[in-house]
Amino acid sequence: MSDRTKKLLGIVLFDDFEALDVFGPVELFGMLDGVVDVRMVAAEREPVKCRQGPTVLADFAFADCPQLDLLLVPGGMGTRSAVDDPSLCAWLAQRARRTDLVMTVCTGSGLLARTGVLDGVRATSNKRAFAWARSQGPNVTWVEHARWVRDGKFATSAGVSAGMDMSLAVIAELFGPDTAERVAGAAEYEWHRNADWDPFAALNGLGTD
């Protein structure tokens, strides 16, 4: 991490992102007032429509986004077209290499894998879309049975709500378990602390690796 007192978390937006992939982590990291600043980043400082319909206004465009301490890439149906957006993929690749800790939720790992930065890294994804995610990064070590996976500077989670469990694990790592417990309690969220807890892998025909 940088030596800044307050850490800057940038969340990447693209059309048809999954709302909870973004706003689950926003709710949790946003409780760390004075410790973490949460900002939205998109290709332009324009409204971006999520899969569920509402739009979100980006705080920064790719061109003027400052140095980040934390980066989060959400998933959603929009990842299917985002992987073919060369400017988005180039920005993600550059920023992921320069950022201390990179998180993905759901099929955001497939999008990040497409850039090549997850090559050789253990990662997971949404179990309903696992085959698609795997196809985006054949050199990634895909973990079928996991709620989230932490490998080096990368933390990748399974589908949608799994991003909240991963976020709390990251908060515990960076700011202490008591802080993570306080945040989970304030959100009235039942935190699954075991990264290997994954009932959805078997439900979707995946193994227990």
Is the residue at 180 inside a domain? Answer: yes
Choose among 38, 21, 37: nearest CA to 160. Answer: 21
Give the per-residue pLDDT at 208. 62
CA separation for the pair 40, 59 (Å, rounded): 5
Domain that holds residue 89: 7-203
Is the residue at 134 inside a domain? Answer: yes
Predicted confidence (pLDDT) per residue in 25-82, tens digit? 999 999 998 999 999 999 999 999 999 999 999 999 999 999 999 999 999 999 999 9
Query: Rounded to 10 degrees, what is the CA torsion of 37, 68, 99, 197?
Result: 20
CA separation for the pair 62, 58 (Å, rounded): 10
Give the per-residue pLDDT at 161. 97
Number of structural domains in the chain: 1
Strands (DSSP E) along the chain, which ranges? 7-12, 36-42, 47-49, 55-57, 60-61, 70-73, 101-104, 122-123, 141-142, 148-151, 154-157
Predicted confidence (pLDDT) per residue in 187-196, tens digit? 999 999 999 9
Give the per-residue pLDDT at 5. 78
Give the per-residue pLDDT at 131. 98
Give the per-residue pLDDT at 207. 76
Give the per-residue pLDDT at 1. 43
CA separation for the pair 196, 149 (Å, rounded): 8
Predicted confidence (pLDDT) per residue in 121-150, tens digit? 999 999 999 999 999 999 999 999 999 999
Residue 78 to residues 89, 144, 153: CA-CA distances in angstroms?
Answer: 13, 22, 25
Instruction: Report the chain's mean pLDDT, rounded to a whole number.
Output: 96
Is the residue at 2 inside a domain? Answer: no
pLDDT over 50 (residue 153): yes
CA separation for the pair 42, 62 (Å, rounded): 6
CA separation for the pair 192, 114 (Å, rounded): 29
Amino acid at 52: Q
- Domain containing 123 — which CATH number? 3.40.50.880
Is the residue at 209 inside a domain? Answer: no
pLDDT band with cut points at 50, 70 and 90 for residue 3: very low
Is the residue at 54 inside a domain? Answer: yes
pLDDT over 80 (residue 22): yes
Is the residue at 208 inside a domain? Answer: no
Is the residue at 55 inside a domain? Answer: yes
Predicted confidence (pLDDT) per residue in 72-112, tens digit? 999 999 999 999 999 999 999 999 999 999 999 999 999 99
pLDDT over 70 (residue 2): no
CA separation for the pair 110, 156 (Å, rounded): 10
